[in-house]
Structure 1
């Protein structure tokens, strides 16, 4: 079930920069909160960060949990990059795979709605997941945050994600059901509108004089007499 909440995104103070390199694994901030703090610091006064602004050094303590998604259809996204934690859960390299591959068939409709709202909102999305119930496997929980990003073209078609599970040593591959979803719509967005092209008047002497359009006179067809 999709649960909607609208919370104004916190704006980072102009004189403070979040340096995640100072965080340690035993820090009170969870990987999800660290990722959101890093993303918020990149917003540059209210905009959506670009994918190219994501520096692995800034996510040093989160790399094993982090991933990048690329939107390829209104409700479909695929993995561009993924950390070791997610690869272990999937039991394989997930780069190039659709995000839906990690979810049960019953959860994929909800996942499509999650993707649509994350990119189109745009929204910061948090998910609570539960692993698929299978015989001989103990279930475990996981949490995800999705933070929208712009591509090089300026469209919001990428997102930074973090997935953290409490699985001690899961039997792979794992698939998840969505037990809760929360969307925090991003308010106060600053859109960079392209500058209108400037029109310049032609200098006197360089412009050709305008001539009235005259329909050419239609000539009568001629007949030729050919002697044999």
Structure 2
């Protein structure tokens, strides 16, 4: 994880899973992550091709200048990027282990903002791991995006679900052996 806020949400998620099982959606208390809420989102898996926003923080919505509730998270991505994100979300839920990506958000006038997006699996009310607690964390100043909505999001690197002994695919040495750079559709 590149950003302190991403690491903070990971620590919170780890606290929720003290028993070693995937935390439940009902375990997430907004007041516990109050400082992160502007960029936090929650997804629900409907099927493989539909990971729908249940909620999205105000700062996240302001960057895109739109409301996300009931929209498909995969619609933020194009071509191969959408395929990679879909696979990442599916593997995050199947393995009940966090994952993350580094992406580039672009405005119509080509301003660019690097972002880190983290995904933390949760159990829904039926006891099935079908929810994702997410964080959309800008890695740079967002000033250039005032009155300029993000119109394209493209992948830069993927950090798949961690394997035992690793945090988000990063070893104790700080190397990321599982990180994959991705090519964007042209």
Structure 2 length-normalised TM: 0.79
Q: Is the 8 A contact 1:71 1:78 kept in 2?
A: yes
1:175 and 2:152 equivalent? Answer: yes
Aligned counterparts, 1:71-110, within 5 A: 71-110=45-84
Q: Unpaired segments of 5 or more residues in structure 1?
A: 1-28, 189-228
What is the SS of the residue equivalent to 2:22?
coil
The equivalent position to 2:99 in structure 1, one of 100, 125, 134, is 125
Question: RMSD of the alignment, in Å?
Answer: 1.9
The equivalent position to 2:11 in structure 1, one of 19, 31, 37, is 37
Q: How many Å separate the matches in 1 of 2:163 and 2:124?
A: 18
Structure ID, larger Rg:
1
Q: How many Å separate the matches in 2 of 1:151 and 1:63?
A: 20
Looking at secondary structure, tell me which structure has more strand per residue.
2
Deviations 1:173-204 (Å, cap 9, x if unpaired)? 4321111111233659xxxxxxxxxxxxxxxx
- 1:45 deviation in Å? 2.1
Question: Which residue pairs with 1:54 in the alignment?
Answer: 28
Deviations 1:53-100 (Å, cap 9, x if unpaired)? 000000111010111110011243010011012101221110100002
Q: Is the 8 A contact 2:121 2:133 kept in 1?
A: yes
Looking at secondary structure, tell me which structure has more helix per residue.
2
- 1:140 deviation in Å? 1.6
Deviations 1:193-228 (Å, cap 9, x if unpaired)? xxxxxxxxxxxxxxxxxxxxxxxxxxxxxxxxxxxx
1:142 and 2:102 equivalent? Answer: no
Poorly superposed stretches of 4+, deviation over 4 Å: none
1:159 and 2:136 equivalent? Answer: no
Q: Which has the higher contact order (CA 8 A, sep 6+)?
A: 1
What is the SS of the residue equivalent to 2:35?
coil
Query: What is the aligned length?
Result: 159
Deviations 1:3-43 (Å, cap 9, x if unpaired)? xxxxxxxxxxxxxxxxxxxxxxxxxx721111111110010
Q: Is the 8 A contact 2:41 2:135 kept in 1?
A: yes
Q: How many Å separate the matches in 2 of 1:114 and 1:182?
A: 9
